[in-house]
Amino acid sequence: MTARAGRDTGGRPPRRRRTPADRGPGAARTPVRRPARPAGGADRSVPGDRAARDDARPDTRAGDVGRGETARRPAPAARPAEPRRTARASSGGRSARRGGGRPPRGPRRPAFRRSDPLKRLNAGLLVIAFVLSLFAGRLVQLQTIEADVYTARAVKQRLHELELPAVRGDITDADGHPLAKTVEARAVYADPALIEPAQRQRVVAALAPLLSMDPAKVLAKISTSGSRFVYLARGVSPDQGRMVEALDLPGVDTLPEYRRIYPNDDLAASVIGFVNREGRGGAGLESAYDRQLAGVDGWQRVETSVSGQVIPMGEDSKREPVPGRGLRLTLLRDVQAKAQQAIEEQVRATGARSGSVIVMDPRTGQILALATAPGYDPNDYGRADDWSNPIVQEAYEPGSTNKVITAAAVLEKGGVTPGTVFRVPYSVRRHDRTFHDSHRHPTQRLTFSGVLATSSNVGTILASETISAQTLYDYLRAFGFGEPTRVGLPGETAGVLTPPSRWSGTDRYPISFGQTVSVNALQMASVYATIANGGVRVSPQLIAGTVEPGGRFTAAPAPAQRRVISQATAEQIIRMLEGATTVEGTAPKARIPGYRVAGKTGTAEIVNPACGCYEGGGYTASFAGFAPADDPRLVVQVVLQKPTRGSHYGGDVAAPVFRDVMAFALKTRKIPPTGGRPPKIDIYARD
């Protein structure tokens, strides 16, 4: 390797980088300041100074000649030395300069040099431009690409839709007395977004006792996240609403609305039903005619600020509510009240599971009373265990009250007359079954009128054998068995009536006296109304018509009518039924002084679900009849399910209720006695 040639600096040998060893101990690390070099690269140092530096620098390359390297050129003559500043030695305190010479230096560290300011400025501008481009891109995204989305969100935060409830139509009796009406009320609501978490307990402590609500439920509602409107309570009284407003709680306010009340408490509750807390019909006519009664709610949309204040120039659109139409019933409030009182007392007295009373006008089919017991108060329906109406929803075996249909069939198709004599033992055997009467008796010779008056099961079986099973079925269907009355009450059962093709060999016999077939109470009452109306069946009617919000009444369509039996047959059965209320009949307790009364008792066994048999199932006691018998104007039917105290016979427990309700209804309707004398009924055959 050859020696590196020195620069063209006047023969000066090239410099060697100083090492820490050259600097010596304690040498100062401050770099030596050197005079600037003239342009052109020539060394303008004085000769003496350069020579002094060269002499002071050890020649570390002397040995290179022996290795074949070229020797350095001799240095030119030294120039006069120029005074210059040198670093002080840190160890000995001596001056680094001696006689114009230069002290030896260690290796020089590169001086700290700042970058070019223009480059730094450009780099900063690039960073700022990049950040601004991100903001600009996001701005474009918000104002163009996603503008509709964020606009909709903003509107949703400001826009509130308030419900404007419609006024629910009233339900009245036939004379316009309110059975269910709508009154002014208040709804309490909250805006959870305006209730701070620290304020929630204070809101709960103030509202829960005032609204009779569970504190946990109130807290859950006002803590709903993402909601600006929740109902806390509805249908509260105006006084309660004003008390809530006076509390001035954050995010809590009231709205005007309406509340359903029942001014007669439990009167006709099973018919009327109730309106639940959501404002919808929960049972009875309130449920069946909910759409008509409720009307159509309106709404109002308003924009509000963060504090909940309505923005005056914001959106404000409204749809007015449409009031509901009212119902006018055929019920008479006073007759309904009497029927309900009578059946409630008898249910308590007999320990019966339930009871019902139906009052009808046989000429028009209008129902004047539908009373059930036990009942409930629709103003406090939550306390009730049962909201059903057993009159139409419970099917039962009618027992002996069904014998009038068999009587009609055999009178018209079997060649039997009221005076036809039957030899009636206590029991008879048909196929593999034995049938008997309710009371033991020796074999009797009874007229057909006597069979009906004494309610003989065996005598009815003997009479029914004069017609076919198909004929018996056809008459049952004609009187309305096997199909609902469609009176308008929800949940009506059609009962059970199977066709003869599905009857067993012995079914026709219990069916003839009212077992192995089931009906609802209104179906059975309609049977007696048909007989009382001369054989013409008028469909039961409960709805007299509708009442518009302005008060205009629209009558309901006339009920359907059809003839079931002839006028002559109906009159024969009426005279036969008068025999049941005589001393020799089964229902002398149904007699009303001054009036001729016709009717029929019923005592049917109830199927025991535990065994599917009649043993231990209890009894259904009933009585159905009409008055005045020679000009029927009213029909009353009484049914008691499973009486457990005292007698369980219809003549003992149901007939007295019939008498009380019928007597009251006749007076209320101002129906006078006809003054006619009852016919002589031959119950036993004359020898």
Is the distance from CB of 666 to CB of 359 less than 8 angstroms? no
Q: Work out the burial of residue 154: count CB atoms within 10 Å of its CB; fewer than 13 is exposed, 13-18 middle, 19 or more buried.
A: exposed
400 is known as an active-site residue: yes
Q: What is the DSSP string of 21-67?
A: HHH-TT---SPPP-PPPPTTS-----HHHHHHHHHHS--TTGGGGGG
d(CA 390, CA 371): 10
- Residue the block writes with tokens 């639940």: 276
Is the distance from CB of 29 to CB of 107 less than 8 angstroms? no
Which residues have C-beta within 8 Å of that of residue 244, sequence separation ≥ 6?
A: 186, 188, 207, 210, 211, 236, 252, 253, 254
Closest CA to 81 of 35, 32, 12: 35
Is the distance from CB of 391 to CB of 358 less than 8 angstroms? yes
Is the distance from CB of 101 to CB of 55 less than 8 angstroms? yes
d(CA 500, CA 512): 13
State the catalytic residue, choosing from 354, 400, 518, 526: 400
d(CA 515, CA 397): 6
- Taking residue 520's Cβ as centre, other Cβ atoms within 10 Å add up to 27
Closest CA to 437 of 405, 460, 465: 460
Strands (E), 533-611: 536-538, 543-547, 553-555, 561-563, 598-605
Torsion-angle region of 675 (φ positive above 0: left; ψ -120 to 50: alpha; else: beta): left
Judging by DSSP bridges, how do beta strands 354-360 and 298-303 pair with one another? unpaired
Which residues are the active-site residues?
400
